[in-house]
Structure 1
Amino acid sequence: MAMSCINPENLLAVALVINRSRDGPAFVFHYPPNVQPVNGVPEPAEGVDLEDLLLERLSLHSKRDLGATEVSNHFHHHDDHLMTESGTQIVPWEHVAGFPTRDLASILTPARSYHKTLFQLSLDPLLCISYPIHVPENGKWKKAKKADKSQASGSRHADEHIAPHETEPSLLAAKPPEPAAKDKDGKKDDADDEKRSSMTMFNLVFILNPKKNEVKELVDALYINIVKKVNKAYKYSQQHSDFIWKESKRILAAKDKAREDSTPHMSPGALTSSVDTDSAAEKNMSAVWKELLQTSSLAASVHDIYEAVSQNKIATLHLDTAAGVLTPSVQIPAPFFVSDVPAEHEQGRGGLWLTTANAFLSQDSLEEPGFLDRNFALLLMDDEKKIISELQGDRDPATVSMIEFVRLAKPTMSLYQVGQSNVLTLGQVRKYAQHFIFWRRAIAIPPLHARDTYVVSPNCALTRLPDASHEWQRAFPVAPPLPNFLAELSMCPKPYKAFCPSKAHRPLYLRMLAWLMRGGWVTQLCTFGYVVVWPEILYEVDYEIEAEELAAAAEEARAQERHEDAALSPIDDTAKPSAEAPGRRHPHPEDTGTTTARPTVEHAAEMARLERIAIKASREAADKATAHARKTVPVATAHPSMNAALNLAALTPHVILDAKKATGKESRYLSAIAHRLRDDKARSAWQLMCKYFDGRCALERIALQEDMKRKEVWNLLTTMSEYLLCTRHW
């Protein structure tokens, strides 16, 4: 999993833009309020295209509005309303990153062809990305009433694909729908609900300032995890309560009022930001934005998205819609492991759990039913009692089951094992595990076991050792000091149970191990295997293949001979010529002998050629058969790895990189190995085990995946060990 590269330096702002059927585009709201130009006013990028022309237009607008020499001064003091010498009022929120918002609104309301797709606009060096949402083709945002009722009962629109923690209708919590206002005739005052909405599209735009080498990673991370999901949540709220349009109207009206109420004064000959302090109605940008964030949950959601995403946190929105409070949550998943020791320049990765357990997961494994359940356990990232205490304050009906899950889900038990209890179903276990992982309260790890080997992680953050030592001592008063315990683990690797003073201490020592894993102090040392084919087996398979080829060639030669005897019979020279063609001269008698003799000569030549080929092939086959007969007959020894026979001297061992995908000669090698296994149990298990011999599957996981006893698995692997080339790493 790639480390999130998003921060306040490359995520400049989040902005909401709408388009209206009558009034056109509008730049509704953006956060943060003051977005300074990057390297001054941007200049057109190389090449001439639509974006270049738009960029040039924007730049010209900025310069014309403020004056070329006043631009930088203006944007560095961009909170109060300003007045130019010409009498033009400049409102601070009408420029973002040096661009007039009216022009940004025009280019950030793309055509319907961009509906629900990635829209990417370059304003070099800035980059805008979004997921535009257009009004449906019928011009109405709202779904039919029948569809609304089905949604209320919990069904989902096929094109939404919104996860339960995002905009699940069941999260329309606490707050009941507000009753619609009625006029004196008893009819709904809000009659325009049935009419075409004035808003034809909306677009939540992310304004970026990426480095060239991070553009793809930045765009992919934002678009998949944030941009699409938030816009879909907004779409849901718009379809069910006209939320985006109503809130946008309120925000735009508030900004217009603040603009009208402000009457900045001018000092002669200069641009000024002085204000009439006696005017209570006048508001600077900070005050306007503060009021909007307090009164509009839509504006607050834009603020929350920017603040959370730029700081790599979870954004939990609270959309106060007429249909109830909607609480979607989005985030760019935070990495909780690395598969290799990070380079020195990769800051922020030190101290993360070091493992290849997740990096080597194949698509086949992920699609295999129960694979993740059997191979992973849940490790809470906080104290169990603390989490349970927090849950007990939640009135959600699912809380009781979730508390039971926290009590049952130990880092020593796979999710499958937790699901075997009579308390929770496997479906509940999966759901709650996903919930805790999403909220960064837990991570998925291979179940901890006393027989497994754990070592100090090369990626541990030693700068945290002093503080961690105090925490360790508080958590485990009778345990050895943390530096001493880590020093012991740094010695020759051995099963973790060897560090326990007695079997009675194992539960405590496993809790200590969980603490160490949680902080990234240790990692599991795993065993990975490949099948190695020794020269004895290589020779045997080649010998058998050669014998089969010789037998097949001999049979083919006999069949060919029978075919030739039947096909190459003498030509009948007495055959009568066909009827003379019209206009053709009758052959002269002297020509007859020449005509009938030619096929006989050609036939004889062909027969001679075929005979030469047959003799050559027969001679080669005989030579091969003779050479084969002179070869040493293969002999299966008790230990092929130690066979030093002369006939094997020129052969080198062959390593099968992925035994489960072996074909052709490699599959024959595997069969030959199976025949050599003396233990019947091992022979029958060989084919099953082979799928784990790819250098990617930790052999420690076989017992979990196959629901076998660890001791049984290691006994089988020991029996097969002569044919395995093993490596050990995290």
Structure 2
Amino acid sequence: MSQPVLPNPTNLLAVALVINRSRDGPNFVFHYPPQVRPPHNQPGQSQYGLPVETRDSDDTILESLDQPVSSFDNTVDASSSADHTHAWDDHRFTETGTQIVPWEHVAGFPTKDLASILTPGRAYHKKLFQLSLDPLYCVSCPIHVPESGVWKKRKKKKPDKAKSVRTEDGGTATSDIDLSRLFTHSSSNGAEGSQAEQKDKGDEVDDKRASMTMFNLVFILHPRKHQAKELIATLYLNIIRKISKAYKYSQQSSDFVWKESKRITALKEKGREERWKTGRLWTEILSSSSLAASVQDIYEAVSQNRIAALQLDTAAGPLTPSVQIPVPFYVADLPPDGEEGQRGLWLTSANSFISEDSLDEPGFLDRNFALLLMEDERKIIAELQADPDPTTAAMVEFVRLSKPTQSFYQVGQSNILSLGQVRKYAQHFIFWRRAIAIPPLHARDVYILSPNCDTRRLPRASLEWQKTFPLAPPLTNFLAELSYAPRPYKHFCPSKAHRPTYLLMLAWLMRGGWVTQLCTFAYVVVWPEIQYEVEYEREAEELRCAKDHTSETTSQPSSSFESSEGAHQPPSEKRVPTINEQAAEQARLERIAEKTQREAAEKAAAHALKVVPTATAHPSINNAPHLAHMTPHIILDAKKPNGTESLYMSAIARRLKDEKVAKAWHGFCKYFNGKSALERIALQEDMKRKEAWTLLTAMSEHLMCVRHW
């Protein structure tokens, strides 16, 4: 399994904000980081894959981009001089007296030209906008002002808050972000609310005066060519679209984007006049504009694969949207040689083969998974208790009740929390990367040293292990013992009284990706004896049907000639066949009947010579001569067998003499696909583990089992 393509400081060069005004035109408002070096290959040396909107722009823009060396590059070469590291931040002047400002070039391009091509038309409103400046990619989700020309919408009282948002054309569309969940508003007093209402008309006038027709949050990428498509899709779906929608919400509610853009632009003009260094200017901008600070937070969090928790200080109150790229907390297989990025992740196939049918059943997830906190329980509870929000009390109880040994279903059986609350809080902790979902830990399950563990962390982990469990064996010895002779985990406990402590040790090892569960998977195997029996019975049934059909046809007079002759003629035109024609047709039918009877007799004779199938107690070791030419058949998915495999399954069920086992056979078949761990059957079927394994043992003659993570 290849490593997922995630943004990093190498392929994510910058995040920029561009706006457009009907009066002043495009404006490259802000970008982060302040210095964005151009990639090694010069963009002007390759073709540009520009969208249709940008191809219709002024030709001078493309001409300026096609120049491999600009006037700024003549003054300060990005790669030719050794002192450029210190000189790039200086203000320079050309021979004609034009001032060259360092922050007005990004990745080797003038920001004025970038602003022109990064303000696409309304056709790209809330859609993926992708601009290729080889080898760079500019990716965004442009947001245009509504057709009315005013950003702010009038508040309308609605009897019911549906999970939909009003679109610009007056219709409704399902929202891909639940704003009530995504944004947290600070409480405001009544005086502030009344003042805001009194300023509604003034705000609308300011909106029209500002005439900001669109804004565009642009991600400037430099990916490898074979990774570009995946990286762009990942960023757009998880980050760009959601943040653009958050900015749109803040712009419509309080004109936030425009007001912050004015503040940033004014500071940049002041920096130009007073010849500030870029570092000083960016410090001023970041300290005075929460919009600029959010751009910084987006870049730093996304490039470091962290959660971007933004703070937008709008006039209507702070908004705190949080976005992230979901990262896998497990891998289903070992990464290829040379890909070390996934080392240390939990190695398991327990999560990778969940079918869509199972996902539609909440009970499947509730019974098969438990919550494993990634930090100390006391630390998380202390953080929750410091929050005055009344809902945190229930979350504290959830943390106390949730144990890695108890499934979500078991936690929901308490009188304190409902199953719905358990699901909701579990999703919350998993989203914030404070926990992961794992199959419940059990002392009777088998755990081994994970082949995907990161041994480079072993020295530090050994010290933490000794500090956390001072009486336990050394970490290296304990891991070696687990894998030397895999057996149920309870056998490593000195006594039953030590089992709770040893389960805590197991949770610690799972949290660090040091161990993984060794699970059992099964396929249905059809031995030759059963195949022969099904084929024999099917052939006998065909012979009986053929015999009955022959008896019926010979006992009834044939009128096929008349039927064939008169089928296509009206009653008035039917021709009476002659005596010769009737005799010829009768002779033909007799020949067909004789041939059919002869073939049936030959088949019956051959069938009579076959050995009558006999059911044995162990068909797997039946070496009878009449079975020598047959090989065992594996049913890859017993839940979805084909026609012949269905007959095999029924034949096996008839051989199970115990009525309880035969009934369980039909219920357990959905787990015999080589993908569902047999250790989960007891959880899913809500039965005791001993009972489930007793039934599986009774079926073992017809199962082929394999063991892996």
Q: TM-score, normalised by structure 2?
A: 0.90
User: CA 1:604–1:21 in structure 2 vs 1: closer, same or farther (change >3 Å)?
Assistant: farther
**Quick check: 1:29 aligned with 2:43?**
no
Q: CA deviation at 1:240?
A: 1.5
Map of 2:14 onto structure 1: 13
Map of 1:114 onto structure 2: 124
* 2:366 paired residue among 373, 379, 388: 373
Instruction: Give the whole-Å Cα distance in 1 for the aligned partners of 2:514 and 2:199.
Output: 69
1:102-501 pair list within 5 angstroms: 102-146=112-156, 157=165, 159=173, 161=175, 163=177, 168=181, 171-174=184-187, 179=192, 189-192=202-205, 195=208, 198-259=211-272, 261-262=273-274, 282-501=275-494
1:697-708 pair list within 5 angstroms: 697-708=676-687
**Quick check: 1:642 aligned with 2:621?**
yes
Instruction: Give the whole-Å Cα distance in 1 for the aligned partners of 2:345 and 2:189.
Output: 44
Structure 2 SS opposite 1:141: coil
Structure 1 SS opposite 2:95: coil
Instruction: Give the whole-Å Cα distance in 2 for the aligned partners of 1:579 and 1:162.
Output: 71
User: CA 1:163–1:65 in structure 2 vs 1: closer, same or farther (change >3 Å)?
Assistant: same
* 2:72 paired residue among 40, 47, 66: 66
Map of 1:611 onto structure 2: 590
Instruction: Give the whole-Å Cα distance in 2 for the aligned partners of 1:623 and 1:290.
Output: 97
For 1:452, the aligned partner's letter is D
Instruction: Give the whole-Å Cα distance in 2 for the aligned partners of 1:465 and 1:54.
Output: 59
Structure 1 SS opposite 2:252: helix
Q: CA deviation at 1:639?
A: 1.9
Structure 2 SS opposite 1:203: strand
Instruction: Give the whole-Å Cα distance in 2 for the aligned partners of 1:535 and 1:83.
Output: 89
Map of 1:712 onto structure 2: 691
Instruction: Give the whole-Å Cα distance in 2 for the aligned partners of 1:47 and 1:607.
Output: 81
Structure 2 residue runs without a partner (length 5+): 166-171, 566-570
Instruction: Give the whole-Å Cα distance in 2 for the aligned partners of 1:225 and 1:656.
Output: 39
User: CA 1:93–1:13 in structure 2 vs 1: closer, same or farther (change >3 Å)?
Assistant: same
Map of 2:609 onto structure 1: 630
User: CA 1:54–1:32 in structure 2 vs 1: closer, same or farther (change >3 Å)?
Assistant: farther
User: CA 1:555–1:109 in structure 2 vs 1: closer, same or farther (change >3 Å)?
Assistant: farther
1:518-557 pair list within 5 angstroms: 518-557=511-550
User: Residues 317-353 of structure 1, C-alpha deviation per residue, up to 9 Å, x if partnerless?
Assistant: 0001111110011111232111112223112211111
Q: CA deviation at 1:46?
A: 4.5
Instruction: Give the whole-Å Cα distance in 2 for the aligned partners of 1:649 and 1:441.
Output: 58
Aligned-residue sequence identity (percent) comes to 62
Map of 1:589 onto structure 2: none
Q: CA deviation at 1:606?
A: 4.5
Instruction: Give the whole-Å Cα distance in 1 for the aligned partners of 2:606 and 2:394.
Output: 75
For 1:470, the aligned partner's letter is L
User: Residues 237-256 of structure 1, C-alpha deviation per residue, up to 9 Å, x if partnerless?
Assistant: 11222211221222222222
Structure 2 SS opposite 1:171: coil
Instruction: Give the whole-Å Cα distance in 2 for the aligned partners of 1:180 and 1:709.
Output: 59
**Quick check: 1:43 aligned with 2:81?**
no
User: Residues 496-550 of structure 1, C-alpha deviation per residue, up to 9 Å, x if partnerless?
Assistant: 0111111111101100100111111110000000001111111111111112222
User: Residues 638-668 of structure 1, C-alpha deviation per residue, up to 9 Å, x if partnerless?
Assistant: 2222222222222111110000011311111
Q: CA deviation at 1:192?
A: 1.4
Q: CA deviation at 1:611?
A: 3.3
For 1:101, the aligned partner's letter is T
Q: CA deviation at 1:209?
A: 0.2
Map of 1:591 onto structure 2: none
Q: CA deviation at 1:295?
A: 0.6
Map of 1:84 onto structure 2: 94
Q: CA deviation at 1:180?
A: 8.1
Q: CA deviation at 1:80?
A: 2.6
1:673-692 pair list within 5 angstroms: 673-692=652-671
For 1:358, the aligned partner's letter is N
Instruction: Give the whole-Å Cα distance in 2 for the aligned partners of 1:630 and 1:498.
Output: 57
Q: CA deviation at 1:14?
A: 0.5
Structure 2 SS opposite 1:168: helix
For 1:618, the aligned partner's letter is Q
Structure 1 SS opposite 2:639: helix
Instruction: Give the whole-Å Cα distance in 1 for the aligned partners of 2:190 and 2:332.
Output: 49
User: CA 1:175–1:287 in structure 2 vs 1: closer, same or farther (change >3 Å)?
Assistant: farther
User: Residues 188-235 of structure 1, C-alpha deviation per residue, up to 9 Å, x if partnerless?
Assistant: 643416758612221111100001121122112211111111111111
Structure 2 SS opposite 1:701: helix
User: CA 1:597–1:483 in structure 2 vs 1: closer, same or farther (change >3 Å)?
Assistant: closer
For 2:251, the aligned partner's letter is Q
Structure 2 SS opposite 1:204: strand
For 1:33, the aligned partner's letter is P
Map of 1:98 onto structure 2: 108
Instruction: Give the whole-Å Cα distance in 2 for the aligned partners of 1:516 and 1:221.
Output: 31
Map of 1:590 onto structure 2: none
Q: CA deviation at 1:48?
A: 8.2
Are the counterparts in 2 of residues 62 and 99 from structure 1 also a CA contact under 8 Å?
no
**How many residues in Structure 1 have an aligned counterpart in Structure 2?**
686
User: Residues 73-100 of structure 1, C-alpha deviation per residue, up to 9 Å, x if partnerless?
Assistant: 6975332322111111122222111111
Structure 2 SS opposite 1:479: coil
User: Residues 677-721 of structure 1, C-alpha deviation per residue, up to 9 Å, x if partnerless?
Assistant: 121111111111000000000010111111111111001000111
Structure 1 residue runs without a partner (length 5+): 263-281, 573-577, 581-595
Instruction: Give the whole-Å Cα distance in 2 for the aligned partners of 1:313 and 1:453.
Output: 33
Instruction: Give the whole-Å Cα distance in 1 for the aligned partners of 2:297 and 2:114.
Output: 22
Structure 2 SS opposite 1:145: coil
Instruction: Give the whole-Å Cα distance in 2 for the aligned partners of 1:477 and 1:690.
Output: 46
Instruction: Give the whole-Å Cα distance in 1 for the aligned partners of 2:363 and 2:130.
Output: 39
Instruction: Give the whole-Å Cα distance in 1 for the aligned partners of 2:557 and 2:111.
Output: 89
Instruction: Give the whole-Å Cα distance in 2 for the aligned partners of 1:623 and 1:133.
Output: 80
Instruction: Give the whole-Å Cα distance in 1 for the aligned partners of 2:95 and 2:30.
Output: 28
For 1:435, the aligned partner's letter is H
User: Residues 450-487 of structure 1, C-alpha deviation per residue, up to 9 Å, x if partnerless?
Assistant: 01000111111222222111111111111111111112
User: CA 1:711–1:288 in structure 2 vs 1: closer, same or farther (change >3 Å)?
Assistant: same
Are the counterparts in 2 of residues 352 and 460 from structure 1 also a CA contact under 8 Å?
yes
User: CA 1:405–1:493 in structure 2 vs 1: closer, same or farther (change >3 Å)?
Assistant: same
Q: Say which is worse superposed, 315-324 or 466-475, in terms of deviation.
A: 466-475
Are the counterparts in 2 of residues 4 and 312 from structure 1 also a CA contact under 8 Å?
no
Q: CA deviation at 1:150?
A: 7.2
User: CA 1:579–1:86 in structure 2 vs 1: closer, same or farther (change >3 Å)?
Assistant: closer
Are the counterparts in 2 of residues 167 and 326 from structure 1 also a CA contact under 8 Å?
no
Instruction: Give the whole-Å Cα distance in 1 for the aligned partners of 2:439 and 2:25.
Output: 56
User: Residues 101-139 of structure 1, C-alpha deviation per residue, up to 9 Å, x if partnerless?
Assistant: 122112112222222221111100001111122222333
Instruction: Give the whole-Å Cα distance in 2 for the aligned partners of 1:107 and 1:600.
Output: 92
User: Residues 600-623 of structure 1, C-alpha deviation per residue, up to 9 Å, x if partnerless?
Assistant: 655554444443333222211111
User: CA 1:187–1:229 in structure 2 vs 1: closer, same or farther (change >3 Å)?
Assistant: closer
Instruction: Give the whole-Å Cα distance in 2 for the aligned partners of 1:24 and 1:483.
Output: 65
Are the counterparts in 2 of residues 62 and 71 from structure 1 also a CA contact under 8 Å?
no
Q: TM-score, normalised by structure 1?
A: 0.88
